[in-house]
Structure 1
C-alpha cells in the first residue's frame, strides 16, 4: 500500500504534479464521436458549441478493422478543432486489448497537451488505475506536458463493482466514474439485452387478493450500482456519471433514466445521439424554480447557521448545504450556457 505522504508525488521524474482538486467544469453530457468517420469529424466546429464534453471513441462500436483509423482520426480532430469551453476526452480500448498501449502512447505523444481526460473501460480494480497512472506519468515527462491527463473509469464488470471503493481511492489522477450498464449486465449474467434503462419484467406487484387485478410498478435495475458508485466517488472527491442509454427511439425513457441518476447524485451522462444532448442539458441542469428557492435559503442564512422558516418549511444548516450545491451548479451552468443564465437570472 502506498504511503499517504507519497500519494501526491509525481510518478516519474519530470512529470507534472498530480492534481489535488478536480477542475471545476460543467459536464452534463459526454458526447461520443466515432473519429474514423470523416463526415462526423466535419461536424465538430458546430458540435462543440452545443456540448460540454466531446469524446473521441476508440473502443466498443468501432470495428476491429477501423481501430487504427479511429486513433488517427482522433489525433486529427484534436489537432485541428478549436474546442473552446468544451472538454476533450477519448475512450481508449480496454487494457487487455491489443490496441490499448498504442492508443495511450501515440495519443499522448501527438496531442497530450490538448487532452483533458482518458476514459478507461472495464476497470476491475485499483491495479488497472495504477498501471495507467504510472504509464501516463512517464509519457507526460517524456513529452514535457505541463499538466496531468486525468483518467475516468468505467464501472462495467462485477469485479469492478465489488472493488469500486478501492478504485476510487487509487490515484489523484482520477476524474470520476461512469456506469457501463451493457457490459455490466453481461458480466453479472443479467437477463437483458437493453443498453441502460429499465426492463418491463423487473417489477413489484401491489398488494391484492387472488383474482383481482394488481398494479405493476417497474423498478430501476441500476439503482444499487449507481448508489455504490456515487458514494465511492463523492467520498473521494470524484465525479459520478450515468453511462449510455441505447434506445434512441424512446426519449421519455432516456430522460427518466437520466433524471433518476441526477437525483441520486450523478453530474451527467453519455450522449450517443444528437437528440440526447438536449435531454442531458435539461435533466442535469437544476430546475429554475429550485434554483430560485435555493437562493432564498442562502439569502436568509448568509453564514449557513441557525434556522429559518420559508413558506412554512424549516430550513437549517443541512438544507443550506443542499441549497448551496444547487446554486453553485446553477452558477457554473449559467457561465457556460446563455439560455440557462437567463432562466436562472444569474
Structure 2
C-alpha cells in the first residue's frame, strides 16, 4: 500500500507533478466528433467556438477499420487548431482493446500539450485508473510535458458502479466521471434498448378509485437513472471531482433530452455529452443557472450578511444552509459568466 505522503509524487522520473485540486473549468457540454470523418474534422475549429469541451472520439462510434484514421485525424486537429478557452479531450479505446496502447502513446507524445483530459471507457475499478495513471506519467516524461493530462472515467458496467467510490479516488489525475447508460444497461441486464432517458414501462400508478381496478388511475413515468446518477454525484463530490450525465441517444426528441439533462443538473452534474449540434444549445441552457435563480441566490447571500442566524425573505425562511445552497448557484454563475459574455449580461456580471 502506498503511503499517503507519496500520493502526489510523480509516477515516473521527469513526469510533471500531479495536480492537488481539480480546476473547475466550465464543461456544460462535451461535444463528440469522429476524427476519421474529414467533414467533421474540417468543422472542428468552428464547433470549438460554440462548446466548452471538444472531444475527439476514438472508441465505439468509430469502425474498427477507421481506428487509425481517427487517431491520425485527432493528431491533425490538435496540431493545426487553436482552441482558446475550449478544452480538447479524447475518448480512447477500451483498455482491453488492441488499439488503446497506440491511442495513448501517439496522442500523449504528439499532442499531449494540447490535450486536457483523456476519457477512459468501461472502467471496472481502481486498477484500471492505476494502469492509465502510470502509463501517462511515463509518456508525459518522454514528451517533456509540463502539466499532467487528467483522466475521466465512464461508468458503463455493474462492476464500475459497485466500485464507483474507489474509482473516483484512484488518482490525483481523476477529473470526473460520466454516466454511460447504454453499456451500463446491458451490463446490468436492464430491459431497455434506449440510450439514456426514461422508459414508459418504468412507472408508478395511483391507487384505485373504485372496484374497477383500471378506471381513473393515473400513471407517471419514472427515471431509470436517478439512483445511478445520485450515487455517481456523491462519489465525485466526496473526492473533489466532477460528475457528468452522458449521452442522450434520441437526437430528434429535444424535449426529453432537455428534461433528462435538467434532472442531472438538479442532482449535481456539471454537464452532459452532446452527440449532435442541436444538443449543444440544450446543454448550454440547462447547465447554466436561470437568471432568476441567480438573482434570488445573490439576494439571499446579500441579506444574510455573515451567513449566520435566520431571516425571512418574501415569506420564506433563510438560514446558513440556504446561503450554502445559494452560493453553489451564484459561484457557478460567476464562473460561467467569465467565459460567456451573454450570460454575464443576463446575470448582471458585466
TM over 0.5, shorter chain: yes
- Residue range with higher mean Cα deviation, 153-162 or 198-207: 198-207
Aligned counterparts of 1:113 and 1:304: Cα–Cα separation in 2: 43
Q: CA deviation at 1:24?
A: 2.2
SS at match of 2:338: helix
The partner residue of 2:226 within 201, 217, 223 is 223
2:271 to 268, 272, 277: 268
Alignment of 1:1-346 (within 5 A): 1-208=1-208, 209=210, 210-346=213-349
Q: Secondary structure at the match of 1:336?
A: coil
Q: 1:303 to 1:37 in 2, by over 3 A?
A: same
Distance in 1 (alpha carbons) for counterparts of 2:309 and 2:44: 50
Deviations 1:2-25, CA, capped at 9 Å, x for gaps: 221111111111111101111121
Query: Normalised by the size of structure 1, how large is the TM-score?
Result: 0.99
Q: Distance in 2 between matches of 1:242 and 1:211?
A: 36
Gaps of 5+ in 1: none
Q: How far does residue 317 in structure 1 lie from its aligned partner after superposition? A: 1.1
In the alignment, structure 2 segments of 5+ residues that lack a partner are none
Residues 271-329 of structure 1: CA deviation (Å, up to 9, x unaligned): 00000000000000001001000001111234322222211111111111111110110
TM-score (norm 2): 0.97
Residue 57 of structure 1 deviates from its aligned partner by: 0.2
What SS does the corresponding residue of 1:119 show, helix, strand or coil? Answer: strand
Counterparts in 2 of 1:250 and 1:14: CA distance versus 1, 3 Å: same
Stretches (4+) displaced over 4 A: none
Once residues 144 and 104 of structure 1 are traced to their aligned partners in structure 2, the CA distance between those partners, rounded to angstroms, is 15
| Cα separation, 2, equivalents of 1:187 and 1:198 | 18
* CA offset digits 1:237-273 (Å, max 9, x no partner): 0100000000011000000000000000000000000
Structure 1 window deviating more from structure 2 (231-240 vs 304-313): it is: 304-313
Count of aligned positions:
346
